[in-house]
């Protein structure tokens, strides 16, 4: 595993306002398939346009809701990994030092919350909440698989997963908070994301425009690797604990 540059530890120690943006790669070591990894990613087997759009849901609500509920049940069996735990520790350490830390995730699995990260900005919603398309009521679904697909609301309306599909806008408040944090940070961590999906992938540009330092940790090169001040090839479950340990000794 490549040695980590001491300057990364120094940058993390001296930063006043840190932002971490996570993608599916952070949950990969917990056993959750990513989207675009060639062989193992979900999109290798499915076509996102076929499943992750409101048109797809309109065409075949049964198939789409079954796919999302299957993912929810798979996630229920997964545990946070070292990368999630390191980010929860980082939130505590920076909080104690009166530094700002903002965790923004594209992930819909809530493993950051399971790792005890307290303030998580979910840009793409979550598998755990389903919303009635008729009355808008949202319910958190913690049980086993649904009996019928698509599930129905007490008002008789059909329920959909409260995730952001392609072509749908991101939740305004979440995106506003994320943009403000990226614009004001002095250190931006891009972790386990292919940096392809917008507008989330544009946050690093906001940070760079405001002269933040950027550290990327990703298993493969991405469109932002060349612009990051440090781009570390590696697994977030292994690298993140080493960064937190290297910077703060814990």
Just list the catalytic residues: 124
| Bond into 150 cis (ω within 30) | yes
Q: Is 130 in the site for ligand BV8 (CB under 6 A)?
A: no
In the complex with Zn ion, the residue whose CB is nearer, 53 or 139, is 139
Among 219, 227, 230, 246, binds ligand BV8 (CB under 6 A): 219
Q: Is 190 in the site for ligand BV8 (CB under 6 A)?
A: no
* The one segment of 1-9, 180-188, 204-212, 230-238 that binds ligand BV8 by CB under 6 A: 230-238
Residues 123-152 that bind Zn ion (CB under 5 A): 132, 134-135, 137
Question: Residue 155 binds what, of ligand BV8, Zn ion, none (CB under 5 to 8 Å, by partner type)?
Answer: Zn ion
Among 155, 167, 168, 209, binds Zn ion (CB under 5 A): 155
Minimum Å gap between C-beta 249 and ligand BV8 is 24
Residue 194 zone, left/alpha/beta (φ > 0; ψ -120 to 50; rest): alpha
Q: Is 168 in the site for ligand BV8 (CB under 6 A)?
A: yes
| Burial letters 11-42, b for 16+ CB under 10 A, else e | bbeebebbbbbbbbbbbbbbebbbbbbeeebb
246 burial type by CB count under 10 A (0-12 exposed, 13-18 middle, 19+ buried): middle
* DSSP category for residue 184: H
Please give the residue whose beta carbon sits closest to ligand BV8 in the complex: 25
Residue linked to tokens 């009996």:
147
**What are residue 95's phi and psi, to 5 degrees?**
-60, -45
Residues 142-161 that bind ligand BV8 (CB under 6 A): none
| Burial letters 107-126, b for 16+ CB under 10 A, else e | bbbbbbbbbebeebbbbbbb
Among 5, 37, 50, 205, binds ligand BV8 (CB under 6 A): 37
Binding site for Zn ion (CB under 5 A): 132, 134-135, 137, 153, 155, 157
């Amino acid at each position: 595993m490549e040695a980590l540059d001491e300057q990364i530890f120094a940058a993390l120690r001296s930063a006043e306002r840190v932002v971490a943006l996570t993608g599916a790669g952070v949950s990969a070591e917990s056993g959750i398939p990513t989207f675009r990894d060639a062989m193992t990613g979900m999109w290798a087997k499915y076509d996102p346009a076929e499943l992750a759009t409101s048109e797809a849901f309109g065409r075949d609500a049964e198939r789409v809701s079954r796919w999302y509920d299957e993912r929810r049940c798979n996630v229920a069996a997964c545990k946070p990994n070292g990368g999630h735990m390191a980010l929860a520790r980082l939130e505590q350490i920076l909080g104690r030092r009166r530094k700002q830390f903002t965790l923004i995730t594209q992930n819909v699995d809530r493993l950051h919350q399971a790792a005890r990260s307290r303030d998580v900005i979910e840009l793409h919603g979550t598998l755990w909440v389903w919303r009635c398309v008729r009355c808008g009521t949202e319910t958190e679904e913690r049980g086993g698989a649904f009996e019928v697909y698509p599930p129905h609301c007490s008002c008789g309306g059909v329920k959909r997963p409260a995730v952001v599909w392609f072509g749908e806008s991101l939740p305004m408040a979440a995106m506003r908070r994320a943009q403000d944090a990226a614009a004001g940070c002095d250190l931006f961590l891009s972790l386990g994301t292919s940096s392809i999906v917008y507008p989330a992938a544009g946050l690093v540009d906001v940070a760079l425009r405001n002269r933040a330092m950027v550290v990327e940790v990703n298993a493969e090169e991405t469109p932002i690797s060349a612009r990051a001040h440090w781009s570390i090839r590696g697994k977030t479950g292994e690298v993140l604990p080493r960064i937190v340990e290297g910077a703060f000794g814990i």
